[in-house]
Amino acid sequence: MVSHGLGDTNRRQRRQRRWRLVRIFLYLIAIFALVFYAVDLGEQRAAEEVARLQQLLVAEQARAKALARDGATAEARLAAAVARGRELEARHAEEAPQGVEKDLLRLVRERLAAKVGAERLATIVALARNESRCDEAPVTRRFLVQTPLSQGPASSVSFANGLIYVAGDGTSARDEGGNPEAWYDPAQPVTLRFTAVGGEAQRIAGLLPLHHSVVVGSAELRFSVVAGARGFAQVAADSCRYP
């Protein structure tokens, strides 16, 4: 009986040892399977990541090439624009009116702004000549320059058969005591008025002598005004064909 019980115990212990070995083996298999799965999954994900990075690299390389091409194109366009700008600047400097031409252009623009017809301006320019076509002897007259203390009617002189009148105002001269006198001081600025019949007065101001020209019909009257006898200004007028 005792030996039979010992045999059962031994068999049971052997079965338990075999079962532990089987469980250990199954655990090892499961661990190996998990490790293999993890390695395989990692390699797959690594391969996918490498493929994605390679695609990004290819895309960035293509973008860099495109930017390089665009940069080269932009640089070429900029160089062309700079060259064109320099060419236009040089052309403008060569063709833009300077000096007398600039002044003449300004006068033409002023006349056009004053509603003078372009055809008339063109005709005047075309007929302009260097030679003077004026009367041989200028007409000389004098007038009394008005001051704040002047008494009586304003003094003026006429030219071109009464078509234009010249008059002027000045600053009162002063005596030794500093008191103002009736006549003007020729050392002070005066204001001259050139009034054509039916037209507005043209005014110039400054120190004598003064020069001015007025066109009346087909004649240009060229005036030179200087100081005359006390209280007077003397006017010399040349009558020239216009234009």
Residues in the chain: 243
Residue 19 in tokens: 């079962």
Residue 183 in tokens: 């006549």
Check the CA dihedral 205-154-233-213 and report its sign: positive
Contact 167, 204 (CB under 8 A): no
pLDDT under 70: residue ranges of the chain? 1-7, 120-121, 123-133, 135, 243
Residue 224 in tokens: 């030179």
Report which of 147, 208, 206 is spatially closest to residue 174, judged by C-alpha positions: 147
Please report the pLDDT score of residue 128 as a whole number: 60
What is the residue extent of each domain of the chain?
Answer: 1-96, 97-128, 133-241
Distance of CA 21 to the CA centre of its chain: 97
Rounded distance between C-alpha atoms, residue 194 and residue 212, angstroms: 9
Phi, psi of 168 (to 5 degrees): -165, 165
Rounded distance between C-alpha atoms, residue 133 and residue 199, angstroms: 25
Please report the pLDDT score of residue 171 as a whole number: 94
Rounded distance between C-alpha atoms, residue 167 and residue 62, angstroms: 86
Residue 198 in tokens: 């039916």
- 3-class secondary-structure state, position 218: coil
Please report the pLDDT score of residue 239 as a whole number: 86
